[in-house]
């Protein structure tokens, strides 16, 4: 499904990594590990197609994602470092926008249950301005509860700012998504075991100089 071939990434003058190859099938979980500055986020952005590789290619079912474009993006769910949350909108509105940009309309009831699942059902109609960092992260991650149809999740540090209970919930969501036969790529600093059949790991090592 998702395949990286001889992938190389440079930022400015630094080469973050090169010659990176991997293949990720449905039902597999891939964790990207590495020190700060080793290029974890850059790798995820490469896999999304936000960044053009300095060499090599990323393929989805054998086709270069830079040619597939919208066709690939319609399948993909990416939760980045930034939460993409607007202060002036309510939690429910923010979630609805995230889903609509991803290409599917969601009913109000589904929004509510997704927020409930992340434990912020009560804040549904409050503007995001009054939410804490952890709560904002939960709103962003609530999109996952509405993205069971997506065959590929790419998550950049999903556990930052979350409390222990929320970490458990998100871990559980990832595990059951992988069990459904989808692929998940994520980065994290937190050492934790997500219970899945196939867990792969790529270590980018120390920061590039």
- Please tell me whether residue 200 binds another protein under the rule CB under 8 A: no
Q: Where are the beta strands (DSSP E) in 50-125?
A: 55-60, 63-64, 76-79
The sheet carrying 63-64 orders its strands as 14-24, 2-11, 55-60, 63-64
Q: Which lies closer to another protein via its Cβ, residue 10 or residue 113?
A: 10
Q: Which lies closer to another protein via its Cβ, residue 144 or residue 175?
A: 144
Neighbours of 109 (CB within 10 A): 8
CA distance 90 to 79: 19
Binding mask 87-106 for another protein (x = CB under 8 A): -xx---x---xx-xxxx---
Report the nearest approach of another protein to the CB of residue 75 (Å): 8
CA distance 113 to 175: 19
Report the nearest approach of another protein to the CB of residue 181 (Å): 21
Q: Where are the beta strands (DSSP E) in 34-188?
A: 55-60, 63-64, 76-79, 152-155, 183-187
- CB under 8 Å to 12, separation ≥6 — which residues? none
- Scan residues 8-27 and list those touching another protein (CB under 8 A): 12-13
DSSP code at position 172: H
| Options 70, 107, 164, 193; binder of another protein; rule CB under 8 A | 70
- Please tell me whether residue 209 binds another protein under the rule CB under 8 A: no
- Please tell me whether residue 85 binds another protein under the rule CB under 8 A: yes
Q: Which lies closer to another protein via its Cβ, residue 100 or residue 108?
A: 100
Q: Which lies closer to another protein via its Cβ, residue 103 or residue 122?
A: 103
- Interface residue list for another protein (CB under 8 A): 12-13, 48-52, 70, 73-74, 76, 78, 80-86, 88-89, 93, 97-98, 100-103
């Amino acid at each position: 499904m998702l395949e990286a071939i001889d992938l190389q990434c440079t930022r400015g003058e630094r080469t973050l990594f090169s010659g990176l190859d991997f293949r990720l099938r449905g039902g597999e979980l891939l964790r990207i590990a590495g020190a700060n500055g080793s290029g974890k986020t850059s790798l995820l952005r490469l896999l999304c197609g936000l960044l053009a590789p300095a060499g090599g290619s990323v393929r989805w079912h054998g086709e270069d994602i830079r040619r597939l474009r919208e066709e690939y993006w319609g399948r993909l769910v990416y939760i980045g470092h930034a939460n993409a949350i607007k202060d002036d909108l309510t939690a429910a509105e923010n979630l609805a926008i995230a889903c609509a940009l991803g290409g599917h309309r969601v009913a109000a009831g589904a929004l509510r249950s997704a927020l409930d699942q992340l434990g912020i059902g009560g804040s549904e109609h409050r503007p995001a301005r009054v939410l804490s960092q952890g709560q904002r992260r939960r709103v962003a991650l609530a999109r996952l509860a509405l993205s069971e149809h997506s065959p590929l999740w790419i998550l950049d540090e999903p556990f930052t700012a979350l409390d222990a209970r929320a970490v458990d919930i998100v871990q559980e969501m990832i595990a059951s998504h992988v069990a459904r036969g989808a692929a998940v790529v994520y980065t994290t600093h937190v050492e934790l075991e997500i219970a899945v059949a196939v867990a792969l790991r790529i270590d980018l090592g120390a920061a590039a100089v």
